[in-house]
């Protein structure tokens, strides 16, 4: 009988409750959209930030440069040490990782910085580079290299041209697969496969630096760097603060904005429900007086009305959450250019919030406790 009463109450007051449910659906839709955006934006933003390049750098501990074959080269570290440490940590968080060995070689009698790396990973680390031609797809491919646009201009290199590199008494040749326009120092460098540069420099298995792009918030990146530092105590592991901090600050500001908006909407929804419920409580005074005269206790009567309001909150919350997920999807496409998928945890959170807010808005029902049945039945 309880739920039958609740259903009939809802049906009987559908006109007035329609206003309340409209407010709840609207509130829930915006809250659900904001929460979906909040969670989705974190992923999208971290992806966007990853295109800015590496956010963790591993390098040898600062010290005197190494002396190799009489030439002074920066401190080096074994490639296998770094790879072993990376394998110990969860690979899912690392979106790209590349070792680098930098040497200063000569080409066409011009000194040029040559970076030996894994070109396939460098492409992921430096997604903002503009490239004319093609990336070198395989890290084992020693026959192809990339040249910076300044190098190409000075040496009058075009795609497909051979490039001969000399380092001390050794030399290596590669064909220009692509010309890099990075807008930075990379425009003055040549990028070849790590193994080719190690052979040229006669530094087998040595690297100068490793760069990683770790997905996640600033805290996740800092945690990952700390664990990597613990695994590689002999080397220096540094998060690149400009990137991680900018990302953290932006995410923090977005979250603050979203939380403020959610609170504001909750208050507005509660006020709207409050107004409707105050009018409804006045309307229901006669029914309550009658129910009391039939032996209904006030707790039992108000319980029926609260269940009615709870159902209203749950149904409004559910409809609004679905609508909000669609809104977040559309906003994701408009703002970020990619769809933001609905997060399942948003559904119960939004519905629970709407039930709480609706019950808070039902405070005027408390005044029904003061209804005197004799007065109501007399028509006062």
Partner 1 sequence: MATLVQVENLRKEFGNVRALDGVSFRVDAGEWIAIMGPSGSGKTTLINILGGLDTPTAGQAVVDGTDVARLDEAGLTRFRAEKIGFIFQQFHLVPYLTAVENVMLAQYFHSTTDEKEAQQSLERVGLGDRIEHLPSQLSGGEQQRVAVARALINHPKLILADEPTGNLDEANEEIVLSLLRELHNEGHTILMVTHAPSIGRLADRRIEFAHGHLVQAAVASLKPELA
5 contacts partner 1 (rule: CB under 8 A): yes
List the one residue from 92, 169, 344, 378 that touches partner 1 (CB under 8 A). Answer: 378
64 contacts partner 1 (rule: CB under 8 A): no
- Least separation in angstroms between CB 216 and partner 1: 55
Q: Which is nearer to partner 1, 9 or 328 (CB)?
A: 9
111 contacts partner 1 (rule: CB under 8 A): no
| Torsions phi, psi for 61 (to 5 deg) | -60, 145
- Least separation in angstroms between CB 369 and partner 1: 10
Buried (b) or exposed (e) across 112-121, using 16+ Cβ within 10 A?
A: bbbbbbbbbb
Of 4-12, 102-110, 153-161, 225-233, which segment contacts partner 1 by CB under 8 A? Answer: 4-12
Q: Which is nearer to partner 1, 98 or 365 (CB)?
A: 365
- Which residues partner with 146 through β-bridges? 178, 191
- Least separation in angstroms between CB 300 and partner 1: 7
Q: Which is nearer to partner 1, 20 or 210 (CB)?
A: 20
Catalogue the long-range contacts made by 79-86 (C-beta closer than 8 Å, 24 or more residues apart): 79/194, 79/205, 79/206, 79/207, 80/205, 81/232, 81/234, 81/235, 82/58, 82/207, 82/210, 82/232, 82/235, 85/228, 85/231, 85/232, 86/212, 86/228
- Least separation in angstroms between CB 13 and partner 1: 7
16 contacts partner 1 (rule: CB under 8 A): no
374 contacts partner 1 (rule: CB under 8 A): yes
149 contacts partner 1 (rule: CB under 8 A): no
Percentages of the chain per state (helix, strand, coil), in multiples of 5: 60, 20, 20
308 contacts partner 1 (rule: CB under 8 A): no
**Interface size with partner 1, residues (CB under 8 A):** 26
4 contacts partner 1 (rule: CB under 8 A): yes
> Segment 277-306, which members bind partner 1 (CB under 8 A)?
286-287, 290-297, 300
- Least separation in angstroms between CB 366 and partner 1: 15
| C-alpha span between 165 and 177 (Å, rounded) | 15
Strand, helix or coil for residue 370: helix
Q: Taking CB under 8 A as the rule, which mask of x and - marks residues 231-260 in contact with partner 1? A: ------------------------------
Of 5-13, 150-158, 210-218, 360-368, which segment contacts partner 1 by CB under 8 A? Answer: 5-13
| C-alpha span between 169 and 302 (Å, rounded) | 94
> Segment 157-186, which members bind partner 1 (CB under 8 A)?
none
DSSP 250-318: HHHHHHHHHHHHHHHHHHHHHHHHHHHHHHHHHHTHHHHHHHHHTT--HHHHHHHHHHHHHHHHHHHHH
Tokens of 188: 């003055």
List the one residue from 9, 197, 218, 362 that touches partner 1 (CB under 8 A). Answer: 9
List the one residue from 3, 8, 71, 263 that touches partner 1 (CB under 8 A). Answer: 8
- Least separation in angstroms between CB 17 and partner 1: 12
| Torsions phi, psi for 218 (to 5 deg) | -55, -35
CA neighbours closer than 13 Å in the CB half-sphere of residue 167? 25
Q: How far apart are the first and last CA of the chain?
A: 29
Q: Which is nearer to partner 1, 63 or 295 (CB)?
A: 295
- Least separation in angstroms between CB 310 and partner 1: 18
379 contacts partner 1 (rule: CB under 8 A): yes
| C-alpha span between 233 and 378 (Å, rounded) | 87
Tokens of 79: 């490639």
Binding site for partner 1 (CB under 8 A): 1-2, 4-5, 8-9, 11-13, 286-287, 290-297, 300, 372-374, 377-379
């Amino acid at each position: 009988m309880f739920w039958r009463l609740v259903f009939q109450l809802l049906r009987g007051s559908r006109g007035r409750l329609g206003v309340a449910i409209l407010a709840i659906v609207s509130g829930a839709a915006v809250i659900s959209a904001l929460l979906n955006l909040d969670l989705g934006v974190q992923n999208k933003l971290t992806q966007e930030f990853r295109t800015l390049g590496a956010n963790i750098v591993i390098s040898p501990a600062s010290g005197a440069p190494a002396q190799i074959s009489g030439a002074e080269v920066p401190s080096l570290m074994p490639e296998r040490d770094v790879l072993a440490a990376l394998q110990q940590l969860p690979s899912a968080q690392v979106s790209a990782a590349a070792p680098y060995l930098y040497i200063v070689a000569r080409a066409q009698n011009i000194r040029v910085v040559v970076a030996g790396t894994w070109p396939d990973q460098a492409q992921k680390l430096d997604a903002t580079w503009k490239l004319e031609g093609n990336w070198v797809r395989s890290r084992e491919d020693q026959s192809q290299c990339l040249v910076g646009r300044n190098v190409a201009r000075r040496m009058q290199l075009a795609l497909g041209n051979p490039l001969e590199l000399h380092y001390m008494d050794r030399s290596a040749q590669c064909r220009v697969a692509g010309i890099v326009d990075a807008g930075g120092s990379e425009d003055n460098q040549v990028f070849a496969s790590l193994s080719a540069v190690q052979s040229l420099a006669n530094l087998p298995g040595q690297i100068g630096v490793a760069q990683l792009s770790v997905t996640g918030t600033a805290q996740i990146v800092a945690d990952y760097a700390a664990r990597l530092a613990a695994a590689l105590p002999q080397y220096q592991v540094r998060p690149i603060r400009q990137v991680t901090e900018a990302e953290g600050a932006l995410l923090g500001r977005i979250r603050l904005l979203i939380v403020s908006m959610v609170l504001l909407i909750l208050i507005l929804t509660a006020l709207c429900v409050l107004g409707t419920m105050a009018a409804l409580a006045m309307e229901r005074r006669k029914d309550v007086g009658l129910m009391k005269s039939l032996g209904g206790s006030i707790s039992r009567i108000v319980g029926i009305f609260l269940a009615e309001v709870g159902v209203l909150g749950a149904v409004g919350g559910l409809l609004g959450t679905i609508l909000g997920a669609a809104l977040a999807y559309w906003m994701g496409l408009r703002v970020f250019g990619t769809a933001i998928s609905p997060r399942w945890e948003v559904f119960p959170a939004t519905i629970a919030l709407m039930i709480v807010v609706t019950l808070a808005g039902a405070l005027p029902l408390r005044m029904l406790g003061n209804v005197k049945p004799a007065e109501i039945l007399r028509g006062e």
